[in-house]
Structures are given as C-alpha cells and as structure tokens.
Amino acid sequence: MIILGVESSCDETAISLVRDGHEVLANAISSQIKDHAAYGGVVPELAAREHLNNVRPTLNQALAQADLELEDIDGIAVTAQPGLLPALLVGAAFANGLALSLGKKVCGINHLAAHIYGGLIERQDILTKPEAFPLCALLISGGNTQLFIIKKSGDCELVGSTIDDAAGEAFDKAAKILGLPYPGGPIIDRLAKTGNPEKYKFPRSFLPKTRSYSEENKLNFSFSGVKTSLLNLVKKTWKDGHVPDEDLPDLLASYQDSIVDVLSTKMKMAAESYGARTLLLCGGVACNSAIRERVQKMAIRSGKELILTPPKYCTDNAAMIAGLGYHYLKNPEHVSDFVEASGRAPIIENLPVFT
Ligand code: ATP
Ligand code: MG
Ligand code: FE
C-alpha cells in the first residue's frame, strides 16, 4: 500500500509517499523558518497562508521524487491534531479534497503519535518483537515534552510531561533572549559544542535531590525556570544584556547541559520504574547531539536497546504521518471519508496494533 502523508501542524509543509509503513519513496518538506524568523516564533495565520501557497508545489515535488502519479496512491493520512489550528485546517482541507477527487480513503493522525512512529520507520523489526516491550519513548519537540510507556503494540500510556515549557521552547526562548535566530535548537547545539558545560550553574527542575522534586512530579518536567534563570544571569553578568560572542559557547553548553541532564535522567527513571526494555528518543529536540550522546551512554550502561530517531524523521515531516497512517488505513475501522482538524488532542492511549 502506498500512503500519501500530509503534515501542516506548525511551520513545515510536508508531503511524503511511503510504501507499507516503512519504505519512504518521497519526503518533501517546505520550511517556513525564514517567514517566521523576524517574529522570533511561529505566527499561526502567517503559517496557514504559507501552507496554502506551498502545499501543491510540495506535493508535486514528492510525486517527482517518487516518480509516481496521484492515481498510484492507495490512501491519504493527514495530521489532524494537535497543533496550530489555522495551519492544521489547510492540510486537512487539502487532504479531504484530494481524497474526494481521487476516490481514496483518508485518515486523521495524531501528530505526537506520529513523532513516536518517526523512530520506528527504519526499525520495523521492533513492531512485531514482543520482547522489545515495554518501550519507553521520550518525545521532545517544539511544543511538547512527554514520556510514554508502550506496554505492547496498541497500548500506550503517558507517564510524564512538562507542566510548563517544552524542551524545544527552552532552546527557542533562550535563543530569543540571546538575540540568536529562530529556531534556537540547532544553533545552540552548534555553539555549545566548544563550550564548558560546567562554567555556569543552571537549575535542574524536578530532579531527585533538588528542592523542587516531589513524588508527584517524579516523571514530569518543568523548563520555565531554567529559561528565567538564563535571563537573570544575562542581566546580572552583562550589563547591557548583550553576551559577547566569546562567552556564548560556555553559557550555552551549561544551559544545554541542564536540559540534557533532566531529560536523560527522567527517561532513565521512567524506564526503570516500568521495566522498559527499549528506549526511543523522538521529536525535533532529539536532533540535539548532546542529548543523543547522553542517552546513548545511559542505554549502554543500563543494557537497554536504544532507538535514536534519524534526524530527518525527528523534526516535522510527513513520512512519519504516512508511515503511521498505513497502520490505520489497512484497518477499515479507522478509515474515514473526511478528517476534522483540531488544535488540541486527547492524550494518546493507543497506537495501532502493528501486525
Ligand atoms: P510539536 O511537535 O510539539 O507540535 P514542533 O512540531 O514545532 O512541535 P518539531 O518540529 O518536532 O516541533 O521540533 C522543532 C523543535 O526542535 C524546535 O524547538 C527546535 O529548536 C528544536 N530542535 C531542532 N534541532 C535541534 C537541535 N539540534 N538541538 C535542540 N533542539 C533542536
Ligand atoms: Mg517546525
Ligand atoms: Fe512536531
């Protein structure tokens, strides 16, 4: 089955063609980063307008990449929730219209479940291996930070999440404070490489042995404090609020280290609490070289299998949508003729049963 995936939940217009949930025939992405950079973040109405401009050219690009015609596809999967509603509406309307005109089935996909699936596109062996479960997935993206335990195929439980900012926001807001371009993650990752992570001290919220820790927030996260702490440090240390270039690597390495420390420690705690056999790191922040390295070390030490999502499937893409869509569309009960978009989504409780 060849599924056409459509993603428009934020500032990437993405179209993919994926065969049988894993063979990625095309993965076209049109990013709007330049359009939103001046605002230091994504403007929903601007995003919607750009999706409208870009969706058809991106589809053409995907069809050309795969050397396929629209008639060759068997179904359409589209991000239905959660995300920026004006942006989601464009993708859903496009997918619905396409499905109607082609006489194909369509299904709505939860964007966060798709981020998890991003790690499984090239690891289909895991799906049918009962001994790989429970699987502990840490989703770290621009708008979410969530810990899931997937006990078995078809059964997913949210065991922790952020109570305020997402990990990606901690990067993006730090960049804004420091006058660095949006999105902050990639540039902070690069600049931090040459810095000393022990130069500055940043809080590690909700970690055991810190004042903020409690049993109740054992597997939860809070990243608004670390951002405020950066703002205060900058104001106190550099009088005009401008951090000189030579001080950025140490400052960013220390800041990044506090985020990485919290993320990897919580993932380890969740994996231990639930006896997870496999770890999966996904979402845009999973591109970060420091978190990848830290989680890799942790996995080796604890003897767990680790799935590090390939960077191209970490940030928003439609291969993860089409891939997960395949597992829904092959099951008639999930298929619909019309997908409704919604900005918010219920907590994910199940992924399809992968067979
Ligand atoms: P969500 O999936 O929660 O709706 P989103 O789709 O906007 O949010 P993604 O596309 O998954 O998020 O990821 C974008 C985020 O990833 C941004 O916050 C960006 O700064 C961050 N990011 C990308 N690359 C890196 C990196 N190398 N290091 C840290 N963060 C990164
Ligand atoms: Mg994005
Ligand atoms: Fe995303």
Q: Which of 58, 100, 97, 38 is nearest to 318 (CA)?
A: 58
Domain-embedded: residue 124: no
Is-contact 37 56, C-beta < 8 A? no
pLDDT in tens, 195-243: 999 999 999 999 999 999 999 999 999 999 999 999 999 999 998 999 9
Residues 293 and 179 in one domain: yes
Instruction: Specify the residue with its C-alpha closest to ligand 1, atom 12.
Output: 142
Range of the domain at 59: 2-117+315-334
Query: In this structure, what CATH number is given to the domain that contains residue 267?
Result: 3.30.420.40
Residues 106 and 64 in one domain: yes
Q: How far is the CA of 211 from the centre of ligand 2 (A)?
A: 34
Domain-embedded: residue 352: no
- Scan for tokens 């990639």, then name that residue: 186
What atom in ligand 1 is closest to the CA of residue 314? Answer: 11
Residues 201 and 261 in one domain: yes
Q: Any known ligand binding at 172?
A: yes
Q: How far is the CA of 285 from the centre of ligand 1 (A)?
A: 5
Residues 95 and 138 in one domain: no
Domain-embedded: residue 349: no
Q: How far is the CA of 138 from the centre of ligand 3 (A)?
A: 13
Pocket of ligand 1 (CB under 6 A): 9-10, 83, 111, 115, 141-144, 168, 171-172, 183-186, 189, 283-285, 287-288, 315-316
Q: Any known ligand binding at 316?
A: yes
What is the arrangement of strands in the sheet containing 278-282, beginning at the earlier edge strand?
A: 155-161, 145-152, 135-140, 278-282, 305-308
Per-residue tokens: 2: 């060849």
Residues 301 and 319 in one domain: no
Residue 147 has pLDDT above 70, yes or no: yes
Domain-embedded: residue 321: yes
Instruction: Specify the residue with its C-alpha closest to ligand 1, atom 3.
Output: 143
Domain-embedded: residue 261: yes
Q: How far is the CA of 41 from the centre of ligand 2 (A)?
A: 10
Please tell me the predicted confidence (pLDDT) of residue 322: 98
ipTM above 0.95, yes or no: yes
Mean pLDDT over 27-42 rounds to 91
Q: Any known ligand binding at 119?
A: no
Domain count, the chain: 2
Q: How far is the CA of 59 from the centre of ligand 1 (A)?
A: 23
Alpha helices in the chain (DSSP H): 33-37, 44-66, 85-102, 111-118, 124-127, 167-177, 184-192, 224-237, 248-273, 289-302, 319-329
What's the pTM?
Answer: 0.97
pLDDT in tens, 109-137: 999 999 999 999 999 999 989 999 999 99
Reported residue count of the chain is 355
Please tell me the number of Cα atoms within 13 Å of 100 on its side-chain side.
8
Q: Any known ligand binding at 195?
A: no
pLDDT in tens, 156-179: 999 999 999 999 999 999 999 999
Instruction: Specify the residue with its C-alpha closest to ligand 1, atom 8.
Output: 142
